[in-house]
Chain A
């Protein structure tokens, strides 16, 4: 371990707590503001448990994905081709075979970060900064995002780690608004739906959980990939819990009929809450500022994962990382500017949420398949992880 800097080796890896923070803050993104509406539209008050079902499903998928990934420690998705085809005469063949998967995931990260950016811009422009051009808001976010995403994943992980407690700040506010304005009647009737509706409700809740697939990149930098399951499950569990609270509060305060009419239910929740003491009167702007952190971490994690995939796939040097981020910035900006209006944007949001679990499944199956063929041919010879 002869390092140039005197940095301790454990600082060069992502710690379990950091992996927890990454997964948590990636998933906690734009979904927070509007997932209640999408779910309430499909299943009404039953959303307060379908969101849990959705969470459990994602939990299962992440568990599988983690178990598969941990077999190949210190490799991210872009390097997997090399792992499977390591002993073949032509190593580039492995890259080529794995290219479609890498592209698929990269495309997902790309689309997701673009949509997140745009959604955030739309929220700001429709609630707080009415006259500021959308371009400025999005470029500001993407610019700072690129500055962070152009760093090693370890730095991104530390960023997430530091910022994580801030994401929990609005939690008491939700509870206050529920205590002040909530109505238990709104939470009923429960269990009043058929299978089709249930499926729809669960599908709608997947949108809120979008972003979990960043682990396929960040797991390559984990300090203890074998111990990744625990922080991952904790992260999904905490997000599910947080969403559950938000769902209960939103349904309890507004009821289904009002909830489906609100564009950003979470913001309206804050308009309802009166903070004791009245130092600040209305908290939407303040909440948006905090929530911006949540969106920001989502963007940098997706963006950073994308950059890291590009860098590792082409085997670029560490100094070029920031140029990759800078180069992707205009493309990302252009794409995020694409959707004409909110409807198209929500459509995109929905499809990103739905496609991710599928993509995760495809990845799991592929990994398993490759692992099986490899084991068959090599007679179960264990791959030695190369540092």
Chain B
């Protein structure tokens, strides 16, 4: 609740907008909450008007040769629906086969029972449902004289195939990544987790985009309260559009002000399944390959899926390495400033002379030097992401080498600063997750400023504040710094170190799984089934 209160405060400034929107929405609702009329023309005209006679709306009027002839219409969105399937399995039977059927049965019943040869159909009288389905790519069928319409699943838009995950590269492991289609994504998970306890809950978010969102969890493993909390939070979202899981992440996260992400995202089905097995909840959002994972702890952002694929020694070594990279990325420039400006006695004498020589031509204090360099590297990095594919790396190298070298020889920057910036930048890539890496990169700047005021002492003060923040931070009721604070010794087995799989017999307790044991899942299922 506490977190919600906070979020409510954050949303306060949008209150007015939402009110306005609600007003408009209501009028819209009124017009939509009608029933399907028996007159065909009314229905088709209504939908046509509703969609503003958009050019992608295909309305096909035809006649069903069934005594007596009846007018009918199929409506679908061009590009969203599979027009060939509609032709073959809807239009063709209705137009050609209807007359062959000579029974006394009601036409509408026949249409439903035998004429429309599509697996998933739904008969409804609510216009709202029909419009929603139409916009999702279904085809609508109206027959004159019946106050009901049929929703026919003919969804078939062009979609990207399954590709390698771009943001989480691993040397070893599955090459499959999520795509933009919700169903494909849930299928990718289901295929890896053939557990009858895997649950999917579908929700729709976004007043206008009506984005499909699925909450995935394993019943009997994931904490029930956690699932409920997640569902609550998502249901409370009031946004007109949800185009990416990031929208949802920001709406349901625990702390709006924190620089640290409290939800993890992944592009890999295998790691999503691993999270599910730990008792976490996965949220798949239609339209993005990035699925959300909650709760998330700090340490988790430094895990790579590969940690579990490679042997435990390698994994442990890599994790220690990443911790080191984290500290370098966070504090190296700040330490540079502190050492140069406050504690030169800590630098070995020979190096100190070299540093003094390198800095003697630099016209700025070290803080300015560091800020300028770090900022330009950040710009460079940002730019190289935006640059068209093949040019990116080239420009990166040109920027780093040429500008750096020129700056040094012009005496604008000391050579050591270039080394510091280079190391920092490389280290920040040591973090497997992109969003956590960015937060570290951001925190580097205030730390540098703190160092320029009080040296190491300033660094420590800032780190204390940061630590306080991290300690207070929670993600869906799980302390962010777990398993270190509060210390859960049983969970340290998969934190900085990773012990071999045979010994990982229990799920991490910090996520409060309902079933702590990793083994004997089968036995439990059977037992439940027998009951």
Contact = CB atoms under 8 A, between A and B. Distances in A.
A280 B226 CA distance: 48
A100 to B, nearest CB: 34
Contacts of A283: 346
Which 6 A-B residue pairs are closest in the complex by CB-CB distance? A162-B485, A6-B477, A4-B1, A289-B456, A285-B343, A282-B345
A296 B346 contact: no
B314 interface: no
B472 A151 contact: yes
Contacts of A162: 467, 471, 481, 484-485
Contacts of A280: 346-348
B53 to A, nearest CB: 49
A22 to B, nearest CB: 13
Interface size class of A (residues with CB under 8 A): 35 or more
A163 B467 contact: yes
Interface string B254-285: 00000000000000000000000000000000
A286 B339 CA distance: 10
A281 B454 contact: no
Given A5-B1, A163-B467, A292-B460, 6 more contacts: A132-B454, A155-B471, A158-B481, A162-B484, A281-B347, A289-B457
B474 interface: yes
B457 A15 contact: no
B487 interface: yes
Interface of A: 4-8, 11, 15, 17-18, 124, 128-129, 132, 136-137, 140-141, 144, 147-148, 151, 155, 158-159, 161-163, 278-286, 288-289, 292-293, 296
Given A5-B3, A137-B457, A286 B485 contact: no
B454 to A, nearest CB: 7
Nearest to A280: B346
A5 B455 contact: no
Given A5-B477, A128-B457, A158-B485, A281 B467 contact: no
Given A158-B471, A159-B471, A285-B343, A128 B479 contact: no
A15 to B, nearest CB: 6
Interface string B439-476: 00000000000000011111111001101100110101
Contacts of A136: 454
Contact of A128 (B225, B455, B476, B512): B455
B457 A124 contact: yes
B6 to A, nearest CB: 12
8 contacts: A5-B1, A5-B474, A8-B477, A129-B454, A132-B454, A137-B454, A162-B467, A162-B471
A4 to B, nearest CB: 4
A7 B225 CA distance: 10
B461 A144 contact: yes
Contacts of B343: 128, 285-286
A18 B486 contact: yes
A148 B454 CA distance: 20
B487 A17 contact: yes
Contacts of B465: 144, 147
Nearest to B459: A289
